[in-house]
Structure 1
């Protein structure tokens, strides 16, 4: 499994709905096992730079690559890129992540 997490900040807060609409195109792409688009509730005292988050889970790197090759991915970029200030992305394999188990 690959987890794909992307953080966005808007250049102007008035554009958040437009950015969210652009990101919503990603939910129509069939390659994700799970895809969420959420607004940062900004409870972290040390940082409020992030406005929106995309979180996806993919079976493997090939599924993530197919997701990124889908036409809706480029449509989303075309809408969001001019409106965003910051974009930070990370992909990782949870099988190789340091994990704390709380159900033991």
Structure 2
């Protein structure tokens, strides 16, 4: 399974509701097994730069590629890109993710 995580920020005075509405289009994309849009709870003591998180799960790389090629992805991107400030994305294969400490004292 591929986990896809994207962080967005909205500029000071920007329209966070419009960003959320634009991102919500992604939830209709049929290629994701799970797709969630969340507002940052701002519970971290050190960083408040992230406003929204997109979290997705995909069966494999092909499903993620199909998600990115889908017209709903383009629609969301075209609406959100001019409204957002920062975007950071990361994908990882959960089948090879570290699940136990490898730390040795």
Q: Distance in 2 between matches of 1:60 and 1:19?
A: 27
Q: Residue 66 of structure 1 aligns with which residue?
A: 66
In the alignment, structure 1 residue 6 sits paired with structure 2 residue 2: no
More strand per residue? 1
Query: Paired residues, what number?
Result: 101
Q: Residue 44 of structure 1 aligns with which residue?
A: 44
Report the TM-score when normalising by structure 2.
0.92
More helix per residue? 1
CA RMSD of aligned residues (A): 1.3
Is the CA contact (8 Å cut-off) linking 1:32 and 1:67 kept in structure 2? yes
Unpaired runs of 5+ residues, structure 2, are: none
Q: Residues 79 and 12 of structure 1: is their aligned pair in 2 closer, same or farther, counting only changes over 3 Å?
A: farther
Please list every run of at least 4 consecutive aligned residues from structure 1 whose deviation after the TM superposition is greater than 4 angstroms: none
Report the TM-score when normalising by structure 1.
0.93
